[in-house]
Every structure is written in C-alpha cells, then in structure tokens.
Amino acid sequence: MKETPMPRKRLSMRQVHEVLRLKWAVGLSDRQIARSLGLSRPTVAAYVQRAQVAGLSWPLPDELDATTLEQRLFPPSPAPGPFTPLTPDWPAVHHELKRKGVTLFLLWQEYKAATPEGFQYSWFCQAYRAWASKLNLVMRQSHRAGEKLFVDYAGQSIPVVNGQTGEVHEAALFIAVLGASNSTYVEATWTQSLPDWIGSHVRAFAALGGVPEIVVPDNLKAAVTRAHRYEPELNRTYADLAHHYGVAVIPARAAKPRDKAKVEVGVQVVERWIVARLRHHTFFALAEVNAAIGELLPALNARPFKKLPGSRQSLFETLDRPALKPLPGQPYEYAEWKLARVNIDYHVEVEGHYYSVPYALVKQQLEVRVSAQVVELFHKGTRVASHLRSRLKGRHSTVAAHMPTAHRHYVAWPPQRLIRWAADSGAATARVVETILASRPHPQQGFRSCLGIMRLGKSYGTERLEAACRRALTISACSYKSIESILKNGLDRTPLPATLPATVPPRHANIRGPEYYSTSQGEANADSSHARQTPSPETDGDVSGPARTDADARDYCGAVRRTPGTAGGSGEYRPGGSTAEDPFA
C-alpha cells in the first residue's frame, strides 16, 4: 500500500502527541481531531497511520522523547509506483458512512487495498463530496449521551450598579448546554476575557459533576486565536484546559450558528426565562446576580418538555450524567502561555521580572506558562525551569544550577570586556559600569544595564555619554534610567554642581561643640548653663525689659539680645535668636 503523502512542513512532536492522544485515548474521529487542533483531516490520518506502522500505542513509552518519536514516524520513504485510476462505488461508500465509526479515510484504505492502482485520498474525498452534493439530503443532528457540551455567551447582559459611584457595568452571561439532554448551566461574569472564560468552564464542569468528550465553543478571542474555516488556532490556555480535563475542543465554523444550534436555542431560553424575569431587579454585586440566577436555573431545567416526555433535568440524570467522564483530582489552575527568548544573561523576562534557565538555552525561544503561583518554562515540550512567581519588577530569580561553571559559556562576555569597552568612551563611563556590576549579586545580572548605557553612546555620542556618566557619579545615580534621563534633558551640557568648601564654625559662647555631648562634660555644661539662666536673688530685681507681648509668649524659646546703648540688664526680646541670658528661663 502506498504511503500517504505528508505536508511539506512537519508538525511539532507536541502536536503529534496530542493527535495520538485524541485518537487513541479519547477515541475521536480524524475529522474531529482535525477540527480540534486546526489541522487538515488527511494530515491527522497520515500521522495516525505512521504511528500504527511504527508499532506505537497509547500511552506512549516514557522514554520516547520528541527526537526518538520523530525518527520512528519518519523513516526513509519508499518510492511511489504507477497507478491506474478506477472509479469507486459511491453508493456503497455513502451507505457505509452511515455506520458508526466508519470514516472516509477507512473506506479509502479499503478501496486502496482492493485496487492498489486507484485514486489517492484527496481525490477520493473530493469526488465523493461532489457526488454526495447532488443528493440534496438534509440530515438532522443527533447527539450521543455525554458527547458534546456547547458553550457561548448570551447576547443580552445584566446591569450591575456600583453602590458608591452609581456606575453601571454590564455583566456577561456564560451558557453551557449538553447535547443529549439540553441540560443548561448559566453564570454571570464581569467580562468575556480569557480568565473569565476559563473560570466559567471549570465551574461548569464542576456543576455537571463530570466532563464531556467534546466542547463546542464559538470563535471568540478567548477560545480561538485565529478563526479559520478549516484550520482554526486554539488559544494556548484553552488548549491547556482541554488537555487537563481530557476533552477535545472543536470550534464552530465562523458564521455557521447551526454548528452550535443547541447553545443558540439555550441562549434564547435563558434570555426569556431568566434574564427577562430579572429585568426589574437592581443588582449591586456580581454575587447577587449569580444568586438570583441560581434560584431560577433549577426551575428552567425542571420545566417539562412540550413534545417529549420528561425535562432537561430528568434526561440529564438518565442520559448525560452516567456517560460523563469523571473529573480530574484537581481543578484546572488558570495559567497563561507566552513565548520568550533567553537573553545572554540566561534569564527570561516575564512581566518585568527575570527568571533563570539553564545557560545552554541562551538565545533559544521558550514557552512560558504563568500561573498564579508558579512560572514554568518549556523548551520543545520539556520543562527546563520552574520558579515561584514574583511580582517585583526589575528583580531576578536565579537558580545556581542554571549558571555555568566559572561562566565558561560567557567567555565572550566577561565583566572585564564590558569595562574595557566602556573605557573607550571615557574613564567616567568605565567607573559607572564597574559600579553597576559590583552592585549585583552576579555580574551577569548587570549586563543589560551596561549594554543599554553603551548603546546610549551610539545615539548621543561618546562625549555626551562621558559627561552624563561624570554627572551620574557626582550625584550617585549610576543606573541606566538616570543616565538616559540626564542625556534626554541635556543636563550633561550644564556645569557640574560646585563642591562647597568645608567651613569651620565660628567660635562663640552660645555655640556648643561636640565636647558638650560627652558624658561628663555635658553634665557640667548643663549645670553651668542652668546656673547662668537662673536669676539670683541679688539680681532678680535688676532684670528689666519691656512688657511681654502675646507674640513673645508664643515663642518663649526666642532669644533676648542686648540692645546696643542700653544700660544694666535691660534687653530687647527678639524671636529666633539665642542667648544664655533669657529673662523667661
């Protein structure tokens, strides 16, 4: 049998691993896997076929890494032979497709086994669809118990009033409907953003008490990164949620609401039986909205069908609940994924904080998983580092095991080279670089700041950079931001602040020197000062002066200085001065 042609660009081994999991562990068809992962159906079938030929089965062996898996899936291909096209029996193919579990790929394989010279898979599919399109048949969708959960947001929202400011915020309504029983789950969230979208799924699974095989969402940004008719791209966090619960995500086609007709009808029912009944209520908190929905939702699910026996709740108990898969041991912990490249200091920047990875991954692109407590870094699907999440911006989280022995990997970037490079601009620039490197626990943590300072020389010139570094040294502001601010504001062109000469305080009877505060001298000085400020009986009557005013009373710590030309002990009260002869002491 001829080998199925593969696409020019191979899938990553992580995607191949997911294809095999959904095929063998979940039991989805090639078409469902293709729609879930944003691949073409022939691609999915080809990879499954290669895995079968390689003798693989689920679960894959633990020692089978990405490189070994790729080698086993892609051995040297045999040369294709000639073929003679023969038209298949299309009515028989159409009849066989009605059987459960039968796919076009299986029928094509049987066709090729019977006629090795026959058509290839792509022509087989195109010719069958062209033949079937002339039948003009309309098929009503049927849903197996526990198979699909349709999710979407309602078009209407519920207003929530801020009790302090009076501002009105429209709360979104998340709705999930099971395909077989039509059992409905509803909750209100502040937004339709990714955290609320993921949290609503977690709570919906918990409320159902189990997990379906397939989740069918709309093409909102929280679910689908890039909407496409044939190959939609799932949000990485949403795909991580699906992997945690063991479900497949198959987005509805864009502008095809019939693909999720169940939830479209569910939205209409919720708007009529819940939202309309709450139209006269005023809510001041999101918890109040969900409490009101929680009171009305059981009645909606218990409402009898008009044309069928039972209700949503009764069908859920008899059909969907027994067929749902059990929940995992722990609920999904929300985490966001992003791509980051390792810098020459073997750190990766995540939300302003820097996390270390093994130095051998310098300049490699990593996948970063950021949860509430942990930051995990992956390289080609393998976790290479894990750190406790830090909210401190500009700081570093460094693991000693990630650092090279004596920094052999950074021979081309030792601190001495940066200092020599900075010395080309001037001595002040070199001193700034030395100061920055010496202020960090590891010199490599200062490489970025030093490289940024040297790059400023390209924009402003080495002379201005040297002048800015001299000013930074003078004011003790040796950092990239300070030097950049000096250059932007042109402070490097202004004269440096003059250094004030050291002044010697004048000698005066009222100035206390440092010896006053010594243990023995201070007590003696305090006694003598008290003696000078306490009028004696002989001179008490001689102290004369003007009457004490209210202003004088408010500043009784002011000084009384002798007015030139006055006689005896008379003096003038002057606030703000000081003297040992204070008549109010």
Per-residue pLDDT of the chain (585 residues; tens, 9 = 90+): 444 454 457 788 888 888 888 888 888 898 998 888 888 999 899 888 888 888 888 888 878 888 888 878 877 545 444 444 578 888 888 888 888 888 999 999 999 998 888 888 988 898 888 888 777 544 467 788 999 999 999 999 999 999 999 999 999 999 999 999 999 999 999 999 999 999 999 999 999 999 999 999 999 999 999 888 888 999 999 999 999 999 999 999 888 887 888 899 999 999 999 999 999 999 999 999 999 999 999 999 999 998 778 999 999 999 999 999 999 999 999 999 999 999 988 999 999 999 999 999 999 999 999 999 999 999 998 999 999 999 999 999 988 888 887 555 454 567 788 888 889 889 999 999 999 988 888 777 888 889 899 899 988 999 999 999 999 999 889 999 999 999 999 998 988 876 655 566 677 777 776 666 665 554 555 454 444 444 444 444 444 444 444 444 444 334 444 444 444 444 443 444 433 444 333
Confirm whether 504 is domain-assigned. no
- The reply to whether 390 and 450 lie within a common domain is no
Full residue range of the structural domain in which residue 382 is found: 335-408
Q: Work out how many domains the chain is built from and give that number.
A: 5
Last residue of one domain, picked from the residues 323, 353, 374 = 323
Last residue of one domain, picked from the residues 356, 378, 408 = 408
- The reply to whether 224 and 124 lie within a common domain is no
Q: Can you say whether the dihedral through the CA atoms of 511, 517, 520, 526 is positive or negative?
A: positive
- The reply to whether 49 and 96 lie within a common domain is yes
Confirm whether 3 is domain-assigned. no
Q: What span, in angstroms and rounded, lies between the C-alpha atoms of 8 and 384?
A: 30
CATH of the domain at 286: 3.30.420.10
Confirm whether 531 is domain-assigned. no
Last residue of one domain, picked from the residues 323, 347, 376 = 323
Q: ω into residue 59 within 30 of 0, thus cis?
A: yes
Q: Can you say whether the dihedral through the CA atoms of 378, 382, 383, 384 is positive or negative?
A: negative
Asked whether the whole model's pTM tops 0.85, one would answer no
- The reply to whether 176 and 300 lie within a common domain is yes
Question: Apex CA 213: angle with CA 211 and CA 219, to 5°?
Answer: 100
Strands, E, within 312-400: which ranges? 335-341, 347-350, 353-356, 365-371, 374-379, 382-388, 396-397
Confirm whether 509 is domain-assigned. no
Output the pLDDT for position 291.
97
Q: What span, in angstroms and rounded, lies between the C-alpha atoms of 152 and 276?
A: 19
Helices (H), 98-156: 104-114, 121-132
Q: Is 575 helix (H, G, I), strand (E, B) or coil?
A: coil
- The reply to whether 308 and 189 lie within a common domain is yes
- The reply to whether 563 and 485 lie within a common domain is no
Specify which residues 474 forms β-bridges with: none
Q: Is 262 helix (H, G, I), strand (E, B) or coil?
A: helix
- The reply to whether 227 and 343 lie within a common domain is no
* Side-chain half-sphere exposure of 380, counting CA atoms within 13 A: 10
Confirm whether 196 is domain-assigned. yes
Q: Are 109 and 4 in contact (CB under 8 A)?
A: no
Confirm whether 137 is domain-assigned. no
* Amino acid letter for position 53: V
Confirm whether 525 is domain-assigned. no
- The reply to whether 183 and 270 lie within a common domain is yes
Q: Can you say whether the dihedral through the CA atoms of 440, 443, 447, 452 is positive or negative?
A: positive
Confirm whether 240 is domain-assigned. yes
Helices (H), 54-99: 66-73, 90-97
- The reply to whether 113 and 163 lie within a common domain is no
- Determine whether 327 is exposed, middle or buried from the number of CB atoms within 10 Å of its CB (0-12, 13-18, 19+): middle
- The reply to whether 167 and 298 lie within a common domain is yes
- The reply to whether 173 and 319 lie within a common domain is yes
- The reply to whether 60 and 123 lie within a common domain is yes
Specify which residues 161 forms β-bridges with: 168
